[in-house]
Homo-oligomer: A and B are copies of this chain.
Amino acid sequence: MFFRLISSGLLLRVSNVGSTNMAAGSRKCSTTRLRYLTQKEAIALDEELFNEYKFSVDQLMELAGLSVATAVSRTFPVSTHPSALIICGPGNNGGDGLVAARHMSLFGYNVSIHYPKRTPKPLFENLLAQCVAFGVDIVENLPPPQQLCDHYQVLVDALFGFSFKPPVREELKPAMTAMIEATIPVCSVDIPSGWHVEKGPGIAKALRPALLISLSAPKMCAQSEFILDAKHYLGGRFLPPGILHKYFLRLPPYPCEDQVVLLSC
């Protein structure tokens, strides 16, 4: 693995072609050379999946949320991290978080959700109802960031996705601050919240996730030096060949039937 500076000044991580075995069985650390999406490409790709490829939001959110839950479980297993707090935003990233919450509950975690700005759409209301039926706890008021570790061993950041543009709106700032200041590991869904999709963290006091789960394909900010030490999984195993071709995507092969593949170790 080596680094290079691009014109924007962002320190990039460029991976070598090939793959390295990480552990026994099907879990490999793939280091296939990747292509990273811009914000515009990520938005266009998403729209094509729905409009041209006829996927429903329900379908893809289910697979995305399952990927997130799987990557979290592999990185921070329930045996050592039994209680998880998932912070859900108002958009589809938050929906992925709601789905992940249900699957993590099925994996045996004690799951809580903080969902400060709810989305008044039937799908999101139903996803929340499913969480409640699975015993997921709804946390209305977050404890101070330094006290999160008294209640939880891992946080999942499902606050903002690839459509986010700064600044963070006032009502979501406490959730953002909680994740930045927490002393327990944060797992970011697709984009570390608050980051620019292409340029990465714009401020010194930015979120530094311990795990990033890129969905469908990694976005440009995933190359930032801010997450050099983070685990990086790819999930959302649902891209049709036409999308791979159109966006010149070079994705590593998923092992066997896995819904995630490890990109960096």
Contact = CB atoms under 8 A, between A and B. Distances in A.
A70 B59 CA distance: 17
B257 A53 contact: no
A135 interface: yes
Interface in A50-95: 53-56, 58-59, 62-63, 66, 69-70, 73-74
A248 interface: no
A114 to B, nearest CB: 21
Interface string A216-250: 00000000000000000000011011100000000
Contacts of A107: 256-257
Nearest to A242: B133
Contacts of A73: 256-257
Interface string A113-136: 000000000010110011001110
A193 B74 CA distance: 37
B130 A53 contact: yes
Contact of A129 (B54, B106, B134): B54
Nearest to A129: B54
Contacts of A134: 240-241
Contacts of A125: 54
A94 to B, nearest CB: 16
B135 A241 contact: yes
Contacts of A58: 56, 58-59, 62
Contact of A54 (B130, B237, B241): B130
A29 to B, nearest CB: 17
Contact of A257 (B54, B56, B70, B126): B70
Contacts of A130: 53-55, 240
A204 interface: no
With a 10 A CB-CB cut-off, give which of A125, A126, A257 has the most chain B CB atoms: A257
Contacts of A133: 53, 240-242
Contacts of A25: 24-26
Contacts of A123: 56
Contacts of A59: 58-59, 62
A74 B126 contact: no
Interface string A172-202: 0000000000000000000000000000000
Contacts of A237: 106
A256 B69 CA distance: 11
A92 to B, nearest CB: 15
A18 B59 CA distance: 35
A236 to B, nearest CB: 11
